[in-house]
Amino acid sequence: MHQDNRITTEESLSIDEYCIKEAFANPKVSIVVPAYNNEKYIYRCLLSLVKQTLKEIEIIVVNDGSTDNTLSVVKQFSDADGRIKVINQENQKQGAARNRGTEKATGEYIGYVDSDDWVDLNYFEKLYNTAKKYNADIALATNVRIGNGKTKKRLNIEKEVFVESLQDKIDISHQVKNPCPTNKIYKQSMLKNNLITWPEKVYCEDKLFTIKTIYYSNGLVTVPDTYYYYYRNPNSTVNSKSKSLIADKNSAKKAVLNFLKEKNAEIRDCEFWAVKNEKRFLGITYYRHEESLHTERISLFGFVVKTFAA
């Protein structure tokens, strides 16, 4: 797109070429796209969605109070493609935006794509067909991070595997180190039957959502050779070091631990950790007390000095 972020005539023709005028009454997949001030990247995102080889989809864009030209770009797509629904709301962060989109979704499965990311053109077809093959509540793709001149596979799926145990689902999805919610599709009935929603008005909302889906799902299937492209936007919240972000990260970790404890989850100890207490001097953490499922530990200046049963 041009630097002024208006869609050119050539780009409009590209939109018209791939868009479908009529919506589908029973879409196979609903795709929820939260969007906030992302005029530079949302064209690329939406174009990758309207060009999907799986045509029976709906695309729900939740404009989360954008103040730039994001909405005007979205409207050019929605005017051309009947599968696109647009929801406008005041800025409430991603969790609330994803919840609003999920509430409106009518697809058998739901996928989430952030507005600065994009996916392979056969992404949803391969995920959907593989999920149906195993009657799996979750289908999982490779997650590729792009940014700062680098491309890295954060999660690389090399073969098709269906797993059912909680530990296997945690391991194969890299739930501990990379609880990414966007490189998956989820059966909508699983989300609704278990009242799984996104935490709102906080950052790091993905951690609790993903562990709940992993826990409640009947199984998870991996889908090789299909990719979700996560763009490491230098202006995104995840790259900031604000106190609120740091606090929300630990609150999310605590929420995950509390959920697993409530469920008496039978998984390995000492993988999920959260800070119970810490002390700082001149901005440096010199004392930290952390907890896991059944173990606690105390560190001084980053070195573990004591470990004991919780």
Joined tokens for residue 106: 């009518």
Digit-by-digit pLDDT tens for the chain (310 residues) are 433 444 444 455 578 888 999 999 999 999 999 999 999 999 999 999 999 999 999 999 999 999 999 999 999 999 999 999 999 999 888 899 999 999 999 999 999 999 999 999 999 999 999 999 999 999 999 999 988 777 888 889 999 999 999 999 999 999 998 889 999 999 999 999 999 999 988 777 889 999 999 999 999 999 999 999 999 876 655 544 566 777 778 888 999 999 999 999 999 999 999 999 999 999 899 999 999 999 999 999 999 999 999 8
Query: How far is it, in rounded angstroms, from Cα 81 to Cα 75?
Result: 10
| Contact in structure between 249 and 204 (CB atoms under 8 Å) | yes
Claim: this prediction has a pTM higher than 0.95: no
b/e map of 28-56 (b: 16 or more CB within 10 Å)?
Answer: bbbbbbbbbbbbbbbbebbbbbbebebeb
Query: How far is it, in rounded angstroms, from Cα 38 to Cα 263?
Result: 39
Q: Identity (one letter) of the amino acid at 210?
A: T
CA atoms within 13 A on the CB side of 223: 27
Q: Identity (one letter) of the amino acid at 150?
A: K
